[in-house]
Structure 1
Amino acid sequence: MKLKKIILDVILSFFRLFLVFVKVDPKKITFVSLEHDSLAGDFRLISRALEKENETELDKYHLTYLLTKFEKTLWGNIQYFFTCIKQLFVINSSALVLLDYNNYVVSKFKRKEVKVLQLWHATGAIKQFGNMVDRDYKINNYDYVISNCEYFVKPYAQAFHVKEEQVMVTGIPKTDRLFHKRKIEKDRNAMYKQYPELKGKKVVLYAPTFRGRLMQGFRDGQVNLDKIIEQLGEEYVILYKMHPLLADKTIDTHHHVICCNGMSIKKLFSVTDVLISDYSAIIFDFSVFDKKMVFYVPDIEEYAKSPGFFVNYEQEMPGAICTSEQAVVDAIQAEDEYQEKRKAFRDKFFAYQDGKSIKRVVALIDQIMGGKL
């Protein structure tokens, strides 16, 4: 990465000379992602809301999109260089830039008058990330960051190199759906229509996070789902969804183990009786359903050292912590003793449980664009 970074710095420094001819559009809001090549998650919800504002107030905002899915290949690296050059000009002609992951151009080459709002893609953070871990470049130049609760204000300030007062507790727009029972029921019916074999079964969802980093590549946590389902028996079905960064990976072949990598995690939640996860932030989302969670973390000692945790993992997790597949089976079959801990967990990490986070985030954007922040 060092050589790539040097080359990229030289190229962007050269093109930055031409920014003297580029003016900031006071109405321009740019959505920037290197993880998605189409609008997804919070980006999709916020874009729709801002488009509605444009309908009621003509030409209020100029919405621009720079959405690219980075691939760790030779061609992907070449595309990344060209994407960064394009970002340099689009970002620095915007009044406001919205990010869902971190961004090199923003951190190194952003104009002061351009505002940046980090809409971090996760509801919370169990593992340390950002500037709290060893990384290829230091995150810089963010103006605002949204958070789901007060607990993450300090960790986010550290991770994104901002002051605590720059972290805004608004809630996360994509979690709004979790608090609408009709939408959950609609998702459940859609799942049963697509997978009728789930009816009458106990559904276990395995959804781990990734290990590794963007430029070095990613890997998953190792688990033998065939072994687990064989011990659970015919009354169970296991669905699994890998982290989006590992969406091409499939595992195991048992007829009661189903790959759901292309499906929305919210839809999968609607039919899930037990969640198996690890250090993934989806556990915050699933806590809304008040259903059993099991934590399969055979690498917990290694993970505690690097990247490390933002929470006291063994104290905070509202479910059995397992380091073997047999322990996972035992925990799934055991009586649920974590109801009170799940409620405390949910209340601690969700400042708002009203399904209106999108309104708060759009109001924040309006304030930024109106010069009131």
Structure 2
Amino acid sequence: MEFDMEKFIALIVVKVTWLFTFAIPVNKKKITFISYFENKLTGNFKLISKELQKRDNDYKLVFLIHKFNNSLLDKLYYVLYFAIQTYHINTSAIVLLDGNNFPVCNITKKKQTTIIQIWHACGGIKKFGYDINRRFDIKNYDYVYVAGNEFKCTFSSAFQVEQDKVISLGVAKTDILYNEGKMESYKELVYNKYPQIKNKKVVLYAPTFRGDGAFDRQYVNIDLEYLYNKLGQDYILLYKLHPFLESISLGKDNNDNIINVNNIDLYKLFSVTDILISDYSAIIFDFSILERPIILYTPDLVVYEEERGFYYNYREFAPGPICFNEEEIAEVIATQNYKLDRVQDLKYKYFDYHDGLSTQRIANDIEDIISRNTPHNF
């Protein structure tokens, strides 16, 4: 096996920091949020933290939110950042993750500390976590919160936890999709930024992240110019790539009808999207809540099945037509052969809750854990 110097250095930093901070008592009111996907508080973490703060001002909330860019400078920064993360993990009652975390998986966890995985996606189609080749093992997660019981088996496998530790509470950020007022306000924000999309059919292309974590960045190209020319002036094409691929451009700068929206929140884009084009991305679960058309653009399906693998038979699972080229996409849109019944099937099979109260359920469970772990004097 090839020696992994980066991993070795990171492991030394984490182990040494753990040794020097292990004796520091756990703060029973301290909740730490850790993410490497963004540089600011968004989505699940933003909603959950606001709900917890609303309930108890004594909670000490710590946010370790820093996007990993896979540059030499960022790797050096992250070595030091792992030390900071390890200190906070050792002194927190609750640690919330939205991705796999190196320090959590490489320490001896305190019994007073509960690690909760709140995955950044609503579900999983392609294999991930422990079910693919990884640079480090996954362990020490106490609970995994999921959208519905259908994910118990797959998330149990991906995160190496027993199925009774995979708990169906819903996904906090999906509360927004059930809030009509919020979605209308999002729509106005997007219209104000891009007035040319008003009164047009909006098609959003948002593919999955291909590759292994932040270290291996791949994507499948699509000819949006061809697609726009086939669809005509009644359509506007938007494209949003994974946060790790935001620097990539898929359209020409002089075409105002093909818009790079990498810097806009996904749900804000959903508010104006009539048709979603995606592939193996878990965002198709989110979008199914709106019960709008989904087209699957998967020119690499056969290779992806063999090399990455899925948790489901993709052809049976797909909540819409599977297309292998731009011509097929244009044909589906022209004929409106969207198979909307499959979108509804996806929504009601994989989400246990449709009440917009998932954030409250998650906050309730976190408070229950804190209460159980805090001694009471009578």
Q: Normalising to structure 2: TM-score of the pair?
A: 0.94
Q: Could you tell me how far apart the structure 2 residues matched to 1:33 and 1:188 are?
A: 27
1:266 corresponding residue in structure 2: 267
CA contact (8 A) 2:14 2:106 kept: no
Deviation of the 1:337 alpha carbon: 4.8
Q: Is 1:196 aligned to residue 189 of structure 2? A: no
**Distance change in 2, residues 1:9/1:189 (3 Å):** closer
CA contact (8 A) 1:99 1:118 kept: yes
Q: Could you tell me how far apart the structure 2 residues matched to 1:353 and 1:204 are?
A: 25
Cα deviation per residue 1:269-315 (whole Å; 9 max; x = unaligned)? 11111110011111111112221111000011111123211122111
- Secondary structure of 2:281's partner? coil
2:51 corresponding residue in structure 1: 49
2:364 corresponding residue in structure 1: 363
**Distance change in 2, residues 1:306/1:236 (3 Å):** same
Cα deviation per residue 1:200-257 (whole Å; 9 max; x = unaligned)? 2111110111111235231222111111111111111101111122122221113310
2:35 corresponding residue in structure 1: 33
- Secondary structure of 1:7's partner? helix
**Distance change in 2, residues 1:112/1:305 (3 Å):** farther
Cα deviation per residue 1:5-54 (whole Å; 9 max; x = unaligned)? 12222233233321344221121111111222221111111111111112
Candidates 70, 78, 81, aligned match of 2:79? 81
**Distance change in 2, residues 1:192/1:8 (3 Å):** closer
CA contact (8 A) 1:99 1:119 kept: yes
Q: Is 1:147 aligned to residue 146 of structure 2? A: yes
- Secondary structure of 2:322's partner? strand
Once structures 1 and 2 are overlaid, which stretch shifts more, 2-11 or 140-149?
Answer: 2-11
- Secondary structure of 1:66's partner? strand
CA contact (8 A) 2:206 2:240 kept: yes
Q: Is 1:11 aligned to residue 13 of structure 2? A: yes
Letter in 1 for 2:315: E
CA contact (8 A) 2:200 2:236 kept: yes
CA contact (8 A) 2:98 2:120 kept: yes
Deviation of the 1:93 alpha carbon: 0.8
- Secondary structure of 1:276's partner? strand
Deviation of the 1:110 alpha carbon: 4.1
Deviation of the 1:261 alpha carbon: 0.8
CA contact (8 A) 1:210 1:221 kept: no
- Secondary structure of 1:65's partner? strand
Deviation of the 1:352 alpha carbon: 0.5
Q: Could you tell me how far apart the structure 1 residues matched to 2:347 and 2:22 are?
A: 49
Q: Could you tell me how far apart the structure 2 residues matched to 1:266 and 1:212 are?
A: 24
CA contact (8 A) 2:149 2:168 kept: yes
CA contact (8 A) 2:68 2:214 kept: no
Q: Could you tell me how far apart the structure 2 residues matched to 1:353 and 1:24 are?
A: 36
Deviation of the 1:67 alpha carbon: 1.5
Q: Could you tell me how far apart the structure 2 residues matched to 1:319 and 1:20 are?
A: 51
Q: Could you tell me how far apart the structure 2 residues matched to 1:86 and 1:170 are?
A: 30
Letter in 2 for 1:262: N
Q: Could you tell me how far apart the structure 2 residues matched to 1:89 and 1:191 are?
A: 40
Unaligned segments of structure 2, at least 5 residues: none
1:250 corresponding residue in structure 2: 249
Letter in 1 for 2:164: E
**Distance change in 2, residues 1:228/1:64 (3 Å):** same
Letter in 2 for 1:53: R
Q: Could you tell me how far apart the structure 1 residues matched to 2:286 and 2:15 are?
A: 41
Indicate the RMSD between aligned Cα atoms, in angstroms: 1.5
CA contact (8 A) 2:150 2:349 kept: yes
1:237 corresponding residue in structure 2: 236
Candidates 100, 103, 123, aligned match of 2:101? 103
Moved over 4 A (4+): none
2:204 corresponding residue in structure 1: 205
**Distance change in 2, residues 1:215/1:184 (3 Å):** closer
Cα deviation per residue 1:121-149 (whole Å; 9 max; x = unaligned)? 00111111000000101110000000001
- Secondary structure of 2:210's partner? strand
- Secondary structure of 2:236's partner? strand
CA contact (8 A) 2:124 2:282 kept: yes
Q: Could you tell me how far apart the structure 1 residues matched to 2:270 and 2:39 are?
A: 25
Q: Normalising to structure 1: TM-score of the pair?
A: 0.95
Letter in 1 for 2:91: S
- Secondary structure of 1:30's partner? strand
Deviation of the 1:332 alpha carbon: 1.4
CA contact (8 A) 2:223 2:326 kept: yes
**Pairs aligned (count):** 369
Candidates 18, 21, 24, aligned match of 1:22? 24
Unaligned segments of structure 1, at least 5 residues: none
Q: Could you tell me how far apart the structure 1 residues matched to 2:317 and 2:209 are?
A: 21
Q: Could you tell me how far apart the structure 2 residues matched to 1:236 and 1:110 are?
A: 55
Deviation of the 1:198 alpha carbon: 1.1
